[in-house]
Structure 1
């Protein structure tokens, strides 16, 4: 049994990103299902190791790593092939900016805990919550579409950090019935990424029952 353990939830976008990165780098790991619906992430033993009580958490080299982009950064430093960001400072900054459109601007306001708060604490109905969800994806995707290359992936011939962030967000967009016709470049990149085994093996339906 591998000593690399991923505390994971199949539908978590952040966990999805880390699964893709692990697969791209060929890193074997054991996944421990941590159900956000059942509240597994709030168990005292888990919170003692991850005070935010979020997924994913990657246990590797004696460390309990949290926050998906920080985990991917660690993996990129430890396993340098394939690289998730360029060694060129300007290209690295550009990739981080593209990735953060999703990881910092779209995803946080659409996180499950936010959606639950909108419903349980603020009394919003599901139609309003779904409209909220689609609005923030569409706003971020409009910017990301303008930043996307005319051909190839964000990473060119090979996926990079921006591609890793895009694919789970495209999954969410379809799940909430966002019309994607205004984002042809993002649709193209998503389709190309999902032709790769590393992305296919990380997909929610591929890991749901593991």
Structure 2
């Protein structure tokens, strides 16, 4: 990255962290974009150059993962199928307690996910990120109709698994305690993808 790109990335991160801190303190709907801009010491137009919507101030963390499955598929070994590559990557994420898998009980992740899932406009905006993720995965698979269907199915499985893991964590289970069930669910889900619903 060039110096300019690094500075832009640091500003991007700082503004988002400022916004999230305000949202956690007072609630997403009770903080205006103008207040975020003032707290971050930038103008409102500058803020909108970085974040097109208020929701993006929270959801930019998901933007880093939009093309994650596509990258995994593109980087897989020649003898590994796309589905096996995504499965391997998700299971590795569970083992690392990657927040994207929903299986993370770090305090800062818990408060962030409660903000996210407790705010309807953020949940709605999240679907936009998931649609873009599906599109880039479909492109990595080949972009034909069967590839688009496969990308939709894979993304749906990843989403449902993450939501189920988050439900466990939000219900009071530790990530370590939930881990065996999360792995079993993931294995069953990927097997169903491989064999089909009737199988």
Same fold (TM over 0.5): no
What range describes the TM-score normalised by the shorter chain of this pair? 0.3 to 0.5
Q: Which has the higher helix share?
A: 2
Compute the TM-score of the two structures, normalised by the length of structure 1. 0.33
Q: Which has the higher strand share?
A: 1
